[in-house]
Structure 1
């Protein structure tokens, strides 16, 4: 399917690896010019080179922590009139909530709630004026199904979801959509750290824990960054203008709900 976004410009946050890279790759394949971001400049440069070589699109790199004002400014300077914004950021590390002091709490909320809101605020009016905009926020299945040790991430992402629910309806008439993708268990560095945490707690090997996790997923496996990216690209497509304010769960059937 032609997604109808060839030539569009996209800001893709935290996209040097993992699910962010999966999204960047799918948007590049659709013909978008990309501004990508990551904290490690060397990894980011390697990712950018690979995307240029494989897809033949323009890729601009902005290294740094996207929660920092100067990095956000650099992203917007590189792409002042984006058609697409995909918000992504690393979540707080696994930690019992009793170990979270005020500084850690505020940092988690800044990364996973405040930062995407700041970027959306910067681009949404321009999108509405131009009559096209696609905003996708990568949150987590933990918004619906709590994960022990990720309480701060869950709370901040749930706050983002609620905050944007009404805003999405205010710009739908201008062909600007805001949606969230809630990943379950994907084969990324993040899930590997979760596996280590759970394995230590259960007193088993990481390999045993990985098999147990896969067995609990109706699909029988972890998800891939590639298939995640394809779903993201569709929400960014010209065909998704009637989808807004929604939470798309990608979890292989893990979350047991009829609605």
Structure 2
């Protein structure tokens, strides 16, 4: 399917690996020029080389922490007027709520709520003026279904979801959509780290932990970054202009609800 966004400019935050990389790859396949972002320069360079080897699109790599003002300025300097913004960022580490101090809570909210709002504020006016814009926020299934130890991440992402629900209505008539993708159990480094933690706590092997988790997923497998990226690319397409303010679950059927 031609997504109708060839030649569009996309900033994809935290895109040197994982789900962000999946989104960058899919948007590059659709013909978008990409601003890649990551903190590890070697990983970032490897991802840039991989995309250049597969797709004939413009690529700019920005090594920066998107949570910082300096990092955001660097991204926007590379692409001041993007047509597409994919908000993605690492979350706070797994920790029991009782162990969170004020500094940790502030940092978590900055990572998973404040940062995407700040970037949206920086790009949305131009999107509205030109009559086209796509903003996709990578949040988490934990916005709907709590995950023990990720209370801070879940709370910050839920705050972002509520904040942008109203904003999406304000800009919908100007050709700008804002949607969230909620990943479930995706095959990422973060999830693998959770497997290791669970194995250490339970005395089971990592393979046993993974088998137990995937057995609870109706699809009987983990999700992957490629299919996640294709969903993101569709939401950024010309065909998705009537989809806005939505939370799209990619969880293999794990969330137990009819709606």
Q: TM over 0.5: same fold?
A: yes
Which residue matches 1:65?
Answer: 65
Give the whole-Å Cα distance in 1 for the aligned partners of 2:159 and 2:202.
Answer: 31
Which residue matches 1:248?
Answer: 248
Offset at residue 164 of structure 1 (A): 0.3
Which residue matches 1:125?
Answer: 125
Q: Is residue 2:211 matched to residue 1:226?
A: no
8 Å contact from structure 2 (residues 139, 181) kept in 1: yes
* Larger displacement relative to structure 2 (211-220 or 41-50): 41-50
8 Å contact from structure 1 (residues 178, 244) kept in 2: yes
Give the whole-Å Cα distance in 2 for the aligned partners of 1:51 and 1:24.
Answer: 8
Offset at residue 203 of structure 1 (A): 2.5
Give the whole-Å Cα distance in 2 for the aligned partners of 1:202 and 1:253.
Answer: 26
Q: Give structure 1 regions of 4+ aligned residues with deviation exceeding 3 angstroms.
A: none
Q: Secondary structure at the match of 1:2?
A: coil
Q: Is residue 2:32 matched to residue 1:32?
A: yes
Count of aligned pairs: 259
Give the whole-Å Cα distance in 2 for the aligned partners of 1:176 and 1:115.
Answer: 19
8 Å contact from structure 2 (residues 64, 74) kept in 1: no
Offset at residue 56 of structure 1 (A): 1.4
Offset at residue 141 of structure 1 (A): 0.2
TM-score, normalised by the number of residues in structure 1: 0.99
TM-score, normalised by the number of residues in structure 2: 0.99
Q: Secondary structure at the match of 1:177?
A: strand
**What's the CA shift string for 1:4-44, capped at 9, x where partnerless?**
00000000000000000000000000000000100101110
State how 1:15-94 maps to structure 2 within 5 Å: 15-94=15-94
- Tell me the C-alpha RMSD between the 2 structures: 0.7
Q: Which runs of 5+ in 1 are unaligned?
A: none
Q: Is residue 2:228 matched to residue 1:198?
A: no
Q: Secondary structure at the match of 2:129?
A: helix
